[in-house]
């Protein structure tokens, strides 16, 4: 600042010097032009001198004016300083930025102040637009035929449960208000086939698990996944023929699977396969067998996403070849979800699901704005793994990060959230008195 002030002072001094020198020069030029002319052309010469004199003086005047224009009116060192030692106060000057109120305090004359509705937790909770409760959550459980539990490395805190331990986990979550569970089986390789016949074995792991939960917790809502990939030796959601996924032939198997699960006591079947027309076919199959009260939660907008990797680790269900882009949706498409939603609703779906969740909040909102059916969002394994990785490294507070994530699903329009954090989130809600 001092250097700038000295520089500005120098500019002003040079400009003043230029002006003063200009005045003295014009005086000398004036005396020269005023000398009497001699010779026969003295009158003409004198006239010419006076004309030149006026031109030179005019140029000097322009130069002096230009110098004045570039002279700082007030340098930093000359600005008034207030009592606090600051060189600027928004409360002073001919046009102050701020004014004072009747009590002498600083006042911004703003009538509408949104912060008034955030001034305390009591006020914030009173006007809160979205609230997640344990009843909004569905708890996914991985199960296997072993008599022990296995940690899933890519999903810290998640296990493959034995059936007895599955019941313990349901009981533990139940005490915190979680009432809905969805089952995903890891099927032994020797039971896997291209047509996935094990998926409708009445003595298979899923029918037995459903029966166990309904017997121990009759009020529980048990959801079951309908798809062939856990049972397929190809790792795909449908029957494979010459490298293609067969649509209608796969639906036949899905109908058998759905009826088998309903007979075991499933409350909600959830077709995740993304075959065209499968919701209507499953609805008709259930109704024809008397299961008109069994609900269908359609995976309406299931995208061909990179966020499913840890889930496929848990079930050992990675595609045996290629990818799933010929039946799952393109992540670049949003409007396409509305087509799927209209079809699923017309075919008898009771819930519409978007999967993954957080990267597709815009799709959740699109569905919310275009249907009155309940919307479910799946907080998938890749999202969970990213959160937990950040927590493990100390980059994020676990509770704050998880609760914010769940709230954002509700804000986007989801009524139901499938999340691996269901039990711990419900526990936090109870501890905070929210449930």
User: Is 192 one of the catalytic residues?
Assistant: no
Count of other CB atoms within 10 angstroms of residue 374 = 16
C-beta neighbour count of 397 within 10 angstroms? 12
Strand, helix or coil for residue 150: strand
Tokens 């007030």 belong to 74
Task: Quote the CA–CA distance of 234 and 194 in Å, as a whole number.
Answer: 6
Tell me how far the alpha carbon of residue 191 is from its chain's centroid: 40
Distant-in-sequence contacts of 51-57, Cβ < 8 A, 24+ apart:
53/29, 56/26, 56/29, 57/26, 57/29, 57/30
Enter the tokens of residue 56: 């030179």
Give the pair of three-digit tokens for residue 139. Answer: 């708890």
Per-residue confidence at 76, pLDDT binned at 50, 70, 90?
Answer: very low
- The tens digit of pLDDT for each residue in 141-187 reads 999 999 999 999 999 999 999 999 999 999 999 999 999 999 999 99
Res 8: pLDDT: 47
Give start and end residues of each alpha helix (H) in 194-334: 205-216, 248-264, 278-288, 309-315
Q: How confident is the model at residue 317 (pLDDT cuts 50, 70, 90)?
A: confident
Q: What proportion of the chain, given as a percentage, has pLDDT over 70?
A: 80
302 classed as catalytic: yes
Confidence of residue 77 (pLDDT cuts 50, 70, 90): very low
Q: Which run of H or E residues covers position 98?
A: none
Tokens of 394: 């100390």
Which region holds residue 405: left if phi is over 0, alpha if psi is between -120 and 50, else beta? Answer: alpha
Q: What is the mean pLDDT of residues 55-66?
A: 48
pTM reported for the whole predicted model: 0.78
pLDDT tier for residue 374 given thresholds of 50, 70 and 90: very high
* Ordered structural domains, the chain, with CATH: 134-432 (3.20.20.70)
Residue 67 clears pLDDT 50, i.e. is over it: no
Mean pLDDT computed over 246-250 = 97
Q: Is 220 in contact with 251 (CB distance < 8 Å)?
A: no
Which residue is listed with tokens 């990179």? 306
Q: Give pLDDT, residue 224.
A: 98
Specify the 3-state DSSP secondary structure of 103.
Answer: coil
Q: Is the dihedral of CA 73, 76, 78, 83 positive or negative?
A: positive
> How much is the pLDDT for 358?
95
Cα–Cα dist 394/388, whole Å: 10
Nearest by Cα to 192 from 147, 244, 229: 229
Could you give the maximum distance between any two Cα atoms of the chain, in Å?
137
The percent of residues in the chain predicted with pLDDT above 90, rounded, is: 73
Half-sphere exposure at residue 315, Cβ-oriented, CA atoms within 13 angstroms: 26
| Rg over CA atoms, the chain | 40
Q: How confident is the model at residue 57 (pLDDT cuts 50, 70, 90)?
A: very low
Q: Are 224 and 183 in contact (CB under 8 A)?
A: yes
**Helical axes 335-346 vs 278-288, angle rounded to 10°:** 20
User: What CA–CA distance (Å, rounded) separates 161 from 184?
Assistant: 10
Question: Around 325, how many Cα atoms within 13 Å sit in the side-chain half-sphere?
Answer: 8
All residues at 6 or more sequence positions from 45 whose CB lies less than 8 Å from its CB, including other chains: 37, 39
* 335 alpha-carbon distance from chain centroid: 19
Residues 6+ apart with CB under 8 A from 392: 156
Q: Please state whether 37 falls in left (phi above 0), alpha (psi between -120 and 50) or beta.
A: beta
Angle among Cα 176, 180, 182 to the nearest 5 degrees reads 125
Cβ atoms of residues 435 and 422 within 8 Å: no
What confidence category does residue 86 fall into, taking pLDDT thresholds of 50, 70 and 90?
low
207 alpha carbon, distance to own chain's centre: 37
**Which strand (E) or helix (H) includes residue 142?**
strand 137-143
- Pairwise pLDDT comparison (29 vs 307), residue with the higher score: 307
Q: Among the options 186, 302, 324, 423, which is catalytic?
A: 302
Give the model confidence (pLDDT) of 8-44 as tens digits: 455 444 444 444 444 454 445 455 444 554 444 454 5
Q: Which of 186, 192, 355, 427 is catalytic?
A: 355
- As a whole number of angstroms, the distance between CA 118 and CA 251 comes to 52
Residue 75 has pLDDT above 70, yes or no: no
What integer best gives the mean pLDDT of the chain? 86
């Amino acid at each position: 600042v001092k250097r700038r002030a000295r520089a500005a002072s120098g500019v002003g001094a040079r400009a003043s010097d230029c002006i003063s020198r200009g005045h003295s020069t014009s005086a000398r030029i004036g005396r020269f032009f005023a000398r009497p002319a001699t010779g026969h052309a003295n009158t003409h010469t004198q006239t010419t001198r006076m004309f030149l004199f006026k031109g030179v003086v005019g140029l000097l005047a322009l130069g002096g004016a230009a110098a004045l224009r570039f002279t700082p009116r007030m340098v930093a060192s000359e600005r008034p300083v207030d009592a606090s030692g600051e060189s600027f106060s928004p409360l002073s000057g001919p046009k102050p930025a701020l004014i004072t109120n009747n009590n002498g305090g600083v006042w911004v004359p703003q009538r509408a102040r949104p912060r008034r509705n955030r001034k305390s937790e009591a006020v914030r909770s009173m006007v809160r637009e979205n609230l997640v409760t344990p009843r909004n959550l569905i708890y996914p459980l991985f199960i296997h035929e072993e008599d022990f539990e296995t940690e899933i490395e890519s999903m810290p805190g998640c296990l493959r449960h034995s059936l007895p331990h599955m019941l313990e986990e349901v009981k533990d979550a139940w005490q915190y208000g979680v009432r809905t569970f969805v089952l995903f089986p890891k099927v032994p390789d020797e039971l896997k086939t291209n047509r996935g016949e094990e998926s409708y074995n009445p003595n298979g792991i899923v029918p037995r698990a459903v029966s166990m939960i309904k017997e121990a917790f009759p009020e529980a809502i048990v959801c079951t996944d309908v798809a062939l990939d856990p049972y397929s030796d190809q790792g795909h959601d449908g029957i494979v023929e010459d490298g293609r996924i067969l649509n209608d032939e796969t639906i036949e198997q899905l109908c058998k699977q759905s009826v088998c699960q309903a007979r075991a006591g499933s409350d909600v079947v959830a077709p995740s396969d993304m075959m065209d027309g499968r919701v209507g076919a499953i609805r008709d199959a259930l109704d024809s067998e008397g299961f008109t009260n069994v609900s269908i939660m359609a995976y309406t907008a299931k995208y061909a996403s990179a966020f499913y990797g840890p889930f496929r680790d848990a079930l050992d269900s990675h595609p045996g070849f290629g990818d799933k882009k010929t039946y799952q949706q393109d992540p670049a498409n949003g409007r396409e979800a509305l087509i799927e939603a209209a079809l699923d609703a017309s075919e008898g779906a009771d819930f519409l699901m978007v999967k993954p969740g957080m990267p597709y909040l815009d799709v959740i909102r699109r569905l919310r704005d275009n249907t009155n059916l309940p919307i479910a969002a799946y907080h998938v394994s890749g999202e969970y793994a990213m959160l937990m990785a950040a927590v493990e490294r100390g980059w994020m507070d676990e509770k704050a990060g998880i609760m914010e994530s769940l709230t954002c699903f509700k804000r986007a329009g989801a009524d139901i959230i499938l999340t691996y954090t269901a039990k711990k989130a419900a526990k936090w809600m109870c501890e905070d008195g929210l449930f």
